[in-house]
Structure 1
Amino acid sequence: MGFFSKILDKLGFDAGASKVEAMLKTPVPPAPAASAPAAAPVAAPAPVSAPAPAPAKTVDVSAILEQKAAANPQKLNWRTSIVDLLKLLDIDSSLQARKELATELGCPAELMGDSAKMNMWLHKAVMQKLAANGGKVPAELLD
């Protein structure tokens, strides 16, 4: 089972192995360059491969995580921290585990050496993947 599969499982997504593979192929926008001025978003060309299958149901990611956070004795900020998100889901949040997840999700190589930048990219990528595959995620977490 891949790392992203564990996240999907903990959130109640109906995703078998083939669905997870399709979900992983959903593109995630690249991280913006720190010194580059903000530019208008450019639509990426559509992939040539078959489209990802439609999710069986919508999963309210925010509601599930808020419920878990309320029941957790630790004060975890899942909305901004990938470490806290993983802890809330009772998934390994070590640097090695996050690097495994980042590799699985296609994190740019230049971010892998800087854990803070990788973590920010990773949190956004996870939220975007969940939203792109039937997860109800607050819009402010997708920017």
Structure 2
Amino acid sequence: MGIFSSIMGKIFGHKPAAAPAAPAPQVMPPPGQPPAAVAVAPAPPPQVVDVAVVLDDLAAKAGQKLDWRHSIVDLMKLVGMESSLAERKELADELGYTGDKSDSASMNIWLHKQVIRKLSENGGKVPAELAD
């Protein structure tokens, strides 16, 4: 599993306290009808994950100020991942960065934009001010 997949899994798998999960619908057969003859309701469409709600919830519990909206380092820390330069260079390779990786400031800005974009492309709802 790649670094981006790990970031996405941690964000998409987090359930903020403010959003309780809906119980699964129960399908019961009518009296006298065998269970196999009952039609199963189609699965609901996948839920869109509100990235800001998840990350703001994690930030509120972090115990330190992490600016995930502007910093790839803080975003990675917030989801419990290693944010070292080596990890960020690996993420840059994974996402196709072609710039100079020794210019970590430029690379970090690019990484943050790409991670936000990829989260959006994979079903995440991202704040308009962060979307390109």
Q: Which residue of 2 aligns with 1:120?
A: 109
RMSD: 1.4
- Structure having the larger proportion of residues in helix: 1
- Please point out which of 86, 89, 94 is paired with 2:76: 86
Percent of aligned pairs sharing the same letter: 57
- Give the 3-state SS of the residue equivalent to 2:110 in structure 1: helix
Moved beyond 3 Å, runs of 4+: none
Aligned to 1:142: 131
**Residue aligning to 2:118:** 129
Output the CA distance in 1 between the equivalents of 2:116 and 2:90.
Answer: 17
Distance 2:8 2:122 in 1: 10
Show the counterpart of 2:89.
99
Which 5+ residue runs of structure 2 have no aligned equivalent? 14-44
In the TM superposition, residue 113 of structure 1 has moved relative to its aligned partner by: 2.3
TM-score (norm 1): 0.67
- Structure scoring higher RCO (CA < 8 A, sep ≥ 6) equals 1
Count of residue correspondences: 101
Describe how 1:2-13 pairs up with structure 2 within 5 A.
2-12=2-12
Cα distance in 1 for partners of 2:105, 2:82 equals 17
Structure 1 residue ranges without an equivalent (≥5): 14-54
Higher Rg of the two aligned structures: 2
TM-score for both structures, normalised by structure 2: 0.72
Name the aligned partner's letter for residue 129 of structure 1: K
